[in-house]
Amino acid sequence: MKEETAPFRDPPMTSLTLERFRSLKNLPSLPEQIDNVLMAAGTSSSMDYSIVEMIQYDPPMAMAVLKVANTPIYGYPGQISSLQQAAGLLGSGAIKNIILRTPIIERFFDTPSEALSIDYLQLWVHSGITAAVSGGLGRFIGGMESDVSFTAGLIHDAGVIALTVYFPIAFAKVQDFMDENQISLIEAEKQTLGFSHLEVAGEIMEAWGFPPQLSQVILQCAAPAKNKMNREIAGVVALAKSLASEWGFPSGLKDFAETERNHLLALLGISAKELQKWEPELKKYAEFALDTMKIF
């Protein structure tokens, strides 16, 4: 699922194509996250709320749960856009099986140096806090599905995980090009690969049968625009990502130049004063997410 981009001066520097990502079966998670969720599952005879809480702050687990929930066997193919909906649909047995099948990210690298300069712990924390703030913003703004906003915020960097884990050599070239030319990650990806990690996420979502709503949000969250569908949720994710970084929880990636704050506020129809009024409560959502993840 490739969005329109400006033509390149030169062809991409690698032979990697978006089509390669359609064959991926899963994304790996952090061992700490898997251990925490399995420990919670082992202390409960049924799917209690604490397990769902932990799952909802883990991008790969969320993607896996959504993938299963959107299969025809559950009766809602391509219609489940939020992790909360998916968890309610699947039940405890299915979710525990999904967790057990989730690979550990370290197994993909023979040595720590092969993980490049990606701080996965930092990326997970940033994703979890972006999710929490996205959900909170959705509730404050109103008129949108806050659980979908939450889910989109959580999985917005899924393409980074896929690229770095499954194609580390190609991503290393991206990083080198980014550092040499002092440009954003997305621009370096487009120049080096011919596509960005946002398009990677969109391709995976399409292959896994996700609703178009989610991929539309992810593909434009770097630059939400008034003429695009689901622009409000994309704007919420972009604003939440900005706030997470401002509060000391950046992704660690120069994934895109920060969208101008006033543009996002205008897109969402809110004022700087309203956002300032909401910030204390939004920070509470972020603190709760950080405490629930238990990976610091």
The CA distances from residue 36 to 57, 289, 294, in Å, are 12, 14, 8
Question: Of the ranges 52-66, 84-98, 195-209, which is most confident?
Answer: 195-209
Where does the pLDDT of residue 245 fall: very low under 50, low under 70, confident under 90, or very high at 90 and above?
very high
For residue 220, what are its two tokens? 């434009």
All domains of the chain, ordered by start, with CATH? 27-293 (1.10.3210.10)
Please tell me the predicted confidence (pLDDT) of residue 6: 38
For residue 294, what are its two tokens? 């238990």
| Radius of gyration of the chain measured on its C-alpha atoms | 18
What torsion, rounded to 10 degrees, do the Cα atoms 280, 285, 286, 288 define? 120
> In the predicted model, is pLDDT for residue 33 greater than 60?
yes
**Tokens 């690229």 correspond to what residue?**
163
**How far is Cα of residue 79 from the mean position of the Cα atoms in its chain?**
19
Helix axis angle for 146-155 and 83-90, nearest 10°, is 100
Model pTM score? 0.90
pLDDT tens per residue, range 95-138: 888 888 889 987 877 655 555 568 999 999 999 999 999 999 99
The CA distances from residue 194 to 36, 176, 199, in Å, are 38, 16, 10
Do residues 178 and 185 make contact, with C-beta atoms less than 8 angstroms apart? yes
34 vs 104: CA distance, rounded Å: 8
Q: 218-222, 256-260, 282-286: which range is least confident on average?
A: 256-260
Please tell me the predicted confidence (pLDDT) of residue 100: 83
Please tell me the predicted confidence (pLDDT) of residue 46: 47
160 vs 28: CA distance, rounded Å: 12
Please tell me the predicted confidence (pLDDT) of residue 131: 97
236 vs 251: CA distance, rounded Å: 17
**Neighbour count for residue 3 (Cβ, 10 Å):** 14
Where does the pLDDT of residue 3 fall: very low under 50, low under 70, confident under 90, or very high at 90 and above?
very low
Under 8 Å CB-to-CB from 215, ≥6 apart: which residues? Answer: 1, 201, 202, 205, 206
Summary mean pLDDT of the chain? 87
pLDDT tens per residue, range 183-226: 999 999 999 999 999 999 999 999 999 999 999 999 999 888 88
How far from each other are the two terminal CA atoms of the chain, in whole angstroms? 35
The CA distances from residue 42 to 11, 37, 68, in Å, are 51, 9, 22
64 vs 59: CA distance, rounded Å: 9
Do residues 39 and 124 make contact, with C-beta atoms less than 8 angstroms apart? no
Q: 98: closest CA among 74, 122, 124?
A: 74
230: left (phi > 0), else alpha (psi -120 to 50), else beta?
Answer: left
pLDDT tens per residue, range 8-27: 345 566 689 999 999 999 99
Burial of 63 (0-12, 13-18, 19+ CB in 10 A): buried
